[in-house]
Structure 1
Amino acid sequence: MSNHTRIEHLGKPRVLIIGGGFAGIELAKSLRDADVQVVLVDRENYHTFQPLLYQVATAGVEADSIIHPFRKIFNDQKNFYFRLADVEQIDTANRLVETSIGLIEYDYLVLATGATSNFFGDKEMEEKTISMKSLDDAVTLRNTILQNFEKALQVDDEEQINSLMDYVIVGGGPTGVELAGALSELRKHVFPKDYKELDFCEMDIHLVQSGPALLKGMSEEASQKALKYLEDFGVKVWLNRRVKSYDGYTVYLDSGETMVSRTVIWAAGVSGSPIRGLRPESILKGNRLLVDVHNLVSGYDNIFALGDVAAMVTEEYPLGHPMLAQPAMQQGEQLGKNICNMLAGKPLEAFNYNDQGSMATVGRNRAVADLKIFKKEYKTQGFIAWLIWMFIHLISVVGFRNRLVVSVNWLWSYFTYDTGNRFIVGNKQVNIPVEETISHKAVV
């Protein structure tokens, strides 16, 4: 595409941000008073609060309560411009980015494209499992779960019923653990009321983790407590196992064990999302971009990378910082200051990650938290950790309305043991070809 996108030239340096995740949002905010033009490009017109995607998938909150329009976030920031587009490649020589709506010029380019699911080259797994990286993924999973039970009502073969009611989650990180806990609570409190004809004692939830412990990166106490919570909930946890293959019906583990399920949820790994046009030497294993302590991409003087797609290799973080919201937000804020320093001819400040800890919730009154406050570590589990998890996530959701809606949903669920968002919306679901097992001659 040869035409340039229509964006007013202000005669100021243009900072072009690709991606409106945590890093991109923080960078744009930090440039509010800078003498620059901020242009944000994203394939969606809203920011997604990804930590709560699993709650959309398990009917805990409405889909629109964890998203917020970019234009509304920045409606009072005069130097901010937004364009809805897919980014195709970068022309670094001419300082242009090719998008689905035309070419966009830049003075400073910031890649905050986040991460995508890493299937380690397994195309079959990519096609037949559900990821948890976008709102579409969450709605697809919710639709699939509910459609499974609707289909199970029409099946009289026990194995087919089990295949529709059983779930396999691959990956024992926070997403996998939180999904397993949420599904187990639905199995106990909600689904038996909705689908009285089905026996939910037959609903199995499997969590497969390749390593010896859950929640890698958290303390041993947190890992062991999360395991105990899940086992108390009746989740079948498979440690030191890898999913070898999945044909849409049978899950094969590398240990030789198998399980039957129509629905496999992939939460096993992530990969950076770089854009075509960058020198190959700048891209590390896992598709992350090698950056220096100022988030400057290796080999360039005006291209930066933030968050999950950036690998700032240091002695303390030899593989780069954790692919979490906190490093992304802090990098975005710091880069905003450094861009101002560059324009003012001042020296750049090195990024210093303030690790505030990590946490995960397993279910009602059950969570684990490894906190770092003023460089002191605090470990807590159970009800207190659950309250902390709820508070931190609630205040982090973008938009007052969204925070209000999420809090009301949580309060309602807590006191009624119910989730009110069990809707099948649209056609997004995993295709389950079980029609041949359904008796269409049944008298209804």
Structure 2
Amino acid sequence: MDTNLPISAQPRVVIIGCGFGGLRLAKALRKAPVQVVVIDRNNYHNFQPLLYQVATGALEADSIAYPIRKIFAGQPNFFYRMADVQRVDPARNTLTTSVGDIRYDYLVLATGSLTNFFGLESIERNAMQIKSIPNALNLRSYIFQNFEKALLTDDPAAKQALLNIVVVGGGPTGVEISGSLAEMRKHVLPKDYPELDLRAMQIFLVEAGAELLGPMSLASQADAKRYLVELGVKVQLNTSINRYEDGKAYFSDTEFIPTENLVWAAGVNGAEVPGLPPEVVARNKRINVNGWNQVQGQTNIFAIGDVANLVSHDMPRGLPMLAPVAQQQADHLAANIQRLLRGEAPKDFKYLNKGAMAIVSRNKAVVDMPGNIHFNGIFGWATWLFVHLMTLVGFRNKVVAFVDWAFSYFSSDQALRLIIRPFNRKDMMDDPGKAKAEHRTATPEYTPAPPAIQTPVNA
């Protein structure tokens, strides 16, 4: 029992996940009279907003990750266990994990989100995604492997499919990776592949809605689309990819885009933990919580960040799945746990919107600030770089990222075009169970909007 955790007279706070919320909460409880136990399947904190730069070779994988044990070195009330959480048993105040059972006095779900494939099995089985460092490394290897294959084929149709890249989802991740790929096509790939006619390489950004960057301002949406079009990205709005197989991304039964490179960034679900009553799990797999992030119907279980479904009058669909939300909830919950220990009443959480931003390419970014303040261009780009650089965990990571960005900016090059771990998508196609384990996702009851365009894109 308890996987060799030390016995303590202090209450034990178990945090599942060391993302933005879990990391912040464990730090905020540093001086609290509790034992803090963090459980995560990875022994590092992963800075997800920069995963797309690992996928496109702009950053090293270890420059956006930092060891959990090193982060909390010197925090005497902190303990970490590397494990997969399999189930929570609220009646026994116990977690079942891959390394044994762990008891808790207070449990905090900070499990984040998983890719949402909207029930589209062919896409879940065959598409690439960017939710983890292994995903990003797989995508980087796969794209460059396909360019190597394109050099060896004389079949024009097969070569076109190997060169085409389709990104599905017009949120920040989709916009940012599309812009980064367009920059690669312009500045990087011609140096590596002079034998290929890269004018034939097409980058598609497909979005089911009417606009890119849906939650952002109209000005940001328009600027982002304009920047992408200027870079040569084919932006297709009101369009849904509903099937992907045999190198074809279908937006109707017969109309498709030929591609061996489909990147799925179209949505996320909450990463729920089995064992909670079904009625507390919302349709998008987020966990319903009250005003101070207590799971509905539970007295000592809480949820923060992407997995928490905190509905209010101003946010009827729940708070946005953003890092600042998770961090603010973590700070607030740390204070509330200490209030509970003192026998005081907890206080409700209030989210302070600090704005949103997205980068498209060099000197091109969009930023929305509170008070309807919007700016873009090189000032927005510099703001995006500064905010992300300061948010990275670890001084070394900040320095490495800054040096890599400076090198890319002044040389118009990216040095990390390495196929270190070749990726074979056929393994995933032949073994659906392996694909589901890799994606670690669930299937919701949602059907994408029907395709709105009727012209086949098979060039």
TM-score category of the 2 structures, normalised to the smaller one? over 0.9
**Aligned: 1:37 with 2:32:** no
**Cross-structure match for 2:276:** 278
Shift of 1:430: 2.8
TM-score by length of 2: 0.92
Secondary structure of the 1:190 match is helix
Residue pairs, 1:269-348, within 5 angstroms: 269-348=267-346
Q: Distance in 2 between matches of 1:332 and 1:248?
A: 45
Letter in 2 for 1:166: N
Secondary structure of the 2:425 match is coil
Shift of 1:5: 1.3
Letter in 2 for 1:285: R
| Uncovered stretches (5+) of structure 2, i.e. residues with no partner | 429-459
Task: Say if 1:30 and 1:333, in contact at 8 Å, map to a contact too.
Answer: yes
Shift of 1:431: 3.5
Q: Distance in 1 between matches of 2:416 and 2:422?
A: 17
Residue pairs, 1:90-105, within 5 angstroms: 90-105=88-103
Secondary structure of the 1:300 match is coil
Shift of 1:133: 0.7
**Cross-structure match for 1:417:** 412
**Cross-structure match for 2:140:** 142
**Aligned: 1:236 with 2:234:** yes
**Cross-structure match for 2:435:** none
Residue pairs, 1:103-252, within 5 angstroms: 103-252=101-250
Which digits, 9 at most, give the CA deviation of each residue in 1:138-179, with x for residues without a partner? 001000011011111111111111111100000000000000
Q: Please, which of 35, 45, 48 is the counterpart of residue 46 of structure 2?
A: 48
Task: Say if 2:167 and 2:265, in contact at 8 Å, map to a contact too.
Answer: yes
| Uncovered stretches (5+) of structure 1, i.e. residues with no partner | 434-444
Q: Per the alignment, do residues 431 and 198 of structure 1 end up closer, same or farther by CA in structure 2, a change over 3 Å counting?
A: farther
Task: Say if 1:97 and 1:105, in contact at 8 Å, map to a contact too.
Answer: yes
Q: Distance in 2 between matches of 1:404 and 1:429?
A: 33
Task: Say if 1:140 and 1:430, in contact at 8 Å, map to a contact too.
Answer: no
Q: Distance in 1 between matches of 2:398 and 2:416?
A: 17
Q: Per the alignment, do residues 417 and 240 of structure 1 end up closer, same or farther by CA in structure 2, a change over 3 Å counting?
A: same
Which digits, 9 at most, give the CA deviation of each residue in 1:104-159, with x for residues without a partner? 00000000000000011111110100111100110010000110111111111111
Q: Sequence identity, in percent?
A: 47
Q: Distance in 2 between matches of 1:264 and 1:226?
A: 21
Shift of 1:94: 0.6
Q: Distance in 2 between matches of 1:269 and 1:426?
A: 27
**Cross-structure match for 2:393:** 398
TM-score by length of 1: 0.95
Shift of 1:429: 4.6
Shift of 1:93: 0.6
Task: Say if 1:143 and 1:429, in contact at 8 Å, map to a contact too.
Answer: no
Q: Distance in 2 between matches of 1:4 and 1:112?
A: 20
What count of residue pairs does the alignment treat as equivalent?
Answer: 428
Q: Distance in 2 between matches of 1:261 and 1:254?
A: 15
Secondary structure of the 1:356 match is coil
Runs (4+) of structure 1 exceeding 4 A deviation are none
Q: Distance in 2 between matches of 1:254 and 1:317?
A: 34
Which digits, 9 at most, give the CA deviation of each residue in 1:237-269, with x for residues without a partner? 100000121114111114964210001000001
Task: Say if 1:20 and 1:47, in contact at 8 Å, map to a contact too.
Answer: yes
Which digits, 9 at most, give the CA deviation of each residue in 1:365-396, with x for residues without a partner? 00000012xxx331001111000000000000
Q: Per the alignment, do residues 432 and 261 of structure 1 end up closer, same or farther by CA in structure 2, a change over 3 Å counting?
A: farther
Q: Distance in 1 between matches of 2:175 and 2:45?
A: 24
Which digits, 9 at most, give the CA deviation of each residue in 1:281-317, with x for residues without a partner? 1001100000011100001000000100000010011
